[in-house]
């Protein structure tokens, strides 16, 4: 790619200079490739020490003296931190796999409402949130239930993260004939429509008006790749500043 620009320098009224810059697009692609390779190798390398740490914490938990609340608290804290790091690394690994077109689905018939309920039980183990599931879908759908659950968990975790004052989350399941629609609805701040166009891009994050939320901008990208691979659609319906509705539609 060659960009040529005509520029008149002061005192050079009759002379036109052509300034040329040669931008090698393949170099940019190569830089992206290096970045992707680095992320993929680094996250693979981090997996082993994390497994060791997790095993060590389990051993510590089992062998700790019975009456030691301080130690229990510390183990609990370490487990929470480790869980966060594990999720980040899994996201990085998943995203690089998907970017290389290596997402393989293990499709089997499963009941989507049961899958939704399992996700809610998993997220709400401590009973902090009120997650209301509406709709009754008796028909099974054909898909990779682990991957679809990953999408539901991403949506619900985002609703929890970005709408922290709201502890009520609604999940709606609708039978649309040949397709099913699952929506996760929160009453948080919502997302400007102007920013919504890139929401499902890799590493895209919306500036949250000065509030710092941790994250890599990969959850929605991974979710979109999973749904696309199932032949479905994914999107956001904004409720005019009164929350977000993230949804996906899947063929039965
Ligand atoms: P991450 O949460 O790691 O930033 P995601 O891909 O899950 O990555 O989300 C991308 C961006 O979309 C987030 O940075 C956030 O700004 C916005 N977002 C996602 N879900 C919600 C939600 N329920 N309410 C408001 N903003 C959201």
Which atom number of ligand 1 is nearest to the Cα of residue 154? 7
Mutate to test the pocket of ligand 1, among 191, 196, 204 (most ligand atoms within 8 A of CB): 191
pLDDT tens across 34-43, in order? 888 898 899 8
CA 205 to ligand 1 centroid distance, Å: 6
The pTM (predicted TM-score) of the whole model is: 0.82
Residues 6+ apart with CB under 8 A from 224: 200, 234
- The ipTM (two decimal places) reads 0.98
Q: What pLDDT was estimated at residue 240? A: 66
Q: Which region, left, alpha or beta, applies to residue 64 given φ > 0 means left and ψ of -120 to 50 means alpha? A: beta
Confidence band of 1 (pLDDT split at 50, 70, 90)? very low
* pLDDT value of position 2: 45
Residues 132 and 168 sit within 8 Å (Cβ to Cβ) = yes
Nearest to 236 by CA among 188, 209, 197, 208: 197
Q: Report the chain's C-alpha Rg in angstroms.
A: 24
Q: 92, 131, 220, 237: which to mutate for ligand 1, most atoms within 8 A of CB? A: 220
DSSP state of 75: H
Contact 151, 223 (CB under 8 A): yes
The ligand 1 atom at the shortest distance from the C-alpha of residue 208 is 16
Residue 207 DSSP symbol: -
């Amino acid at each position: 790619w060659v960009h040529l620009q005509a520029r008149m320098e002061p005192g050079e009224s009759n002379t036109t200079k052509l300034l040329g810059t040669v931008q090698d697009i393949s170099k940019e692609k190569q830089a992206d490739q290096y970045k992707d390779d680095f992320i993929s190798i680094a996250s693979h390398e981090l997996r082993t020490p994390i497994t060791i740490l997790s095993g060590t914490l389990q051993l510590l938990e089992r062998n700790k003296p019975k009456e030691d609340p301080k130690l229990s608290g510390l183990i609990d804290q370490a487990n929470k931190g480790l869980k966060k790091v594990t999720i980040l690394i899994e996201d990085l690994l998943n995203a690089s796999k998907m970017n290389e077109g290596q997402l393989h689905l293990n499709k089997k018939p499963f009941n989507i409402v049961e899958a939704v309920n399992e996700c809610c039980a998993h997220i709400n183990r401590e009973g902090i949130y009120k997650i209301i599931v509406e709709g009754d879908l008796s028909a099974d759908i054909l898909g990779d239930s682990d991957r679809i659950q990953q999408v539901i968990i991403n949506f619900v975790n985002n609703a929890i993260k970005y709408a922290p004052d709201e502890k009520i989350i609604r999940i709606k399941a609708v039978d649309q004939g040949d397709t099913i629609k699952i929506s996760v609805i929160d009453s948080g701040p919502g997302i400007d429509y102007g920013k919504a166009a890139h929401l499902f891009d890799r590493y895209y994050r919306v500036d949250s008006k000065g509030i710092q939320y941790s994250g890599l901008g990969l959850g929605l990208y991974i979710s979109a790749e999973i749904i696309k691979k199932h032949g479905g659609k994914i999107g956001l319906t904004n409720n005019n500043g009164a929350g977000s509705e993230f949804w996906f539609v899947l063929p039965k």
